[in-house]
């Protein structure tokens, strides 16, 4: 049994997937398996992967039709044999020393899910954009354990290392009917079931930021985050824990507001009352937020300050 099963769902990742594979092969921890699930790519992804199959630790599965990343990850999870599961997107890559310190941190903190920080890189220019932990807080100074309430309040969207036996015990898999935020839902539900998570404050995961990614293109889709939070709010442990319930509700409001408010304000400006009403029904808190924001917005306009909407702050 390998120590770590790295799972990668790939779709049209030919320009990047070689670097992803080689970053796993370069790990200081050598006892791993890499399970790649190609989601019916129409480019040369499979051809790029095939030479790496000479390494017996690298496995390739292929879907005959495109089913989305959740289906690919779920298929890999069913086949994984490692003590730990590491998620690697096909266009990202690990630092060579990523897996060993994550496992060590998980043992020291006694957690079944642990994160490191993301080193974010512009996919087009290769420019380093930032080291990311959470939008609303700086990273810890040392490996730190967080409660489920803490994790929700921080809105952790990092890439996890997960204990496989615990994952199978709780019977959790990715929701294949949710196509935006499904990873956040999966990780948050697991953190709740596992009683907390850990964070190693080192940027050992390299995350490519694509301006045309699904996240960017569908950021203002209100239906997907609504389904994510409906699922969280219906979870028995959330419903039974007042602090956790309040944290999930607050995070839901923040995430929905980030997506709904700029659309609502624009609809009001254009007098598109039908659109404004539709947004209000999905996120009724946009109206009081708009009213509270008006004085500050007017002052910034008078001072000729930048009023561009910084939606990146709501990752």
Domain boundaries, the chain: 4-217, 223-305
DSSP summary character for residue 314: G
Cα-Cα-Cα-Cα torsion 247, 175, 285, 249, nearest 10 degrees, comes to: -10
Residue 258 is predicted with a pLDDT of: 82
Residue 273 is predicted with a pLDDT of: 86
pTM tops 0.85: yes
Alpha helices (runs of H) in the chain, residue ranges in sequence order: 17-25, 45-49, 69-79, 99-109, 148-154, 164-170, 182-194, 214-217, 223-234, 236-240, 242-269, 273-282, 286-302
pLDDT less than 70: residues of the chain? 211-219, 293-315
With 0-12 / 13-18 / 19 or more C-beta atoms within 10 angstroms meaning exposed / middle / buried, residue 254 is: middle
Instruction: Extract the tokens encoding 260.
Output: 């709904």
Residue 313 is predicted with a pLDDT of: 47
Question: 305: left (phi > 0), else alpha (psi -120 to 50), else beta?
Answer: beta
Is 4-217 CATH 3.60.20.10? Answer: no
């Amino acid at each position: 049994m390998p120590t770590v099963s790295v799972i990668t769902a790939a779709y049209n990742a030919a320009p990047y997937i070689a670097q992803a594979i080689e970053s796993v092969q370069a790990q200081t921890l050598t006892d791993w398996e890499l399970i790649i699930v190609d989601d019916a790519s129409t480019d040369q992804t499979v051809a790029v992967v095939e030479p790496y199959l000479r390494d017996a630790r690298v496995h390739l599965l292929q879907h005959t039709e495109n089913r989305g990343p959740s289906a690919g990850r779920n298929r890999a999870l069913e086949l994984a044999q490692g003590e730990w599961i590491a998620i690697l997107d096909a266009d990202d890559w690990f630092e060579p020393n990523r897996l060993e310190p994550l496992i060590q941190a998980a043992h020291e903190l006694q957690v079944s899910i642990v994160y490191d920080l993301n080193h974010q890189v512009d996919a087009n220019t290769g420019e380093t954009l930032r080291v990311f932990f959470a939008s609303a807080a700086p990273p810890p100074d040392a490996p730190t354990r967080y409660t489920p309430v803490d994790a929700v309040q921080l809105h952790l969207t990092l890439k996890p290392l997960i204990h496989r036996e615990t994952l199978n015990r709780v019977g959790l898999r990715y929701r294949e009917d949710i196509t935006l935020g499904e990873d956040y839902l999966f990780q948050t539900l697991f953190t709740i079931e596992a009683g907390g998570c850990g964070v190693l404050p080192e940027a050992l995961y390299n995350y490519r930021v694509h301006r045309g990614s699904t996240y960017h293109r569908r950021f203002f889709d209100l239906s997907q985050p609504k389904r994510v939070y409906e699922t969280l709010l219906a979870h028995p442990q959330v419903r039974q824990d007042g602090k956790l319930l309040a944290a999930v509700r607050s995070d839901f409001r923040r995430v929905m507001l980030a997506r709904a408010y700029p659309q609502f304000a624009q609809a009001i400006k254009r007098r598109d009352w039908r659109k404004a009403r539709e947004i209000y029904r999905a996120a009724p808190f946009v109206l009081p937020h708009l009213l509270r924001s008006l004085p500050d917005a007017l002052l910034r306009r008078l001072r000729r300050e930048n009023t561009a909407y910084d939606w990146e702050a709501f990752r």
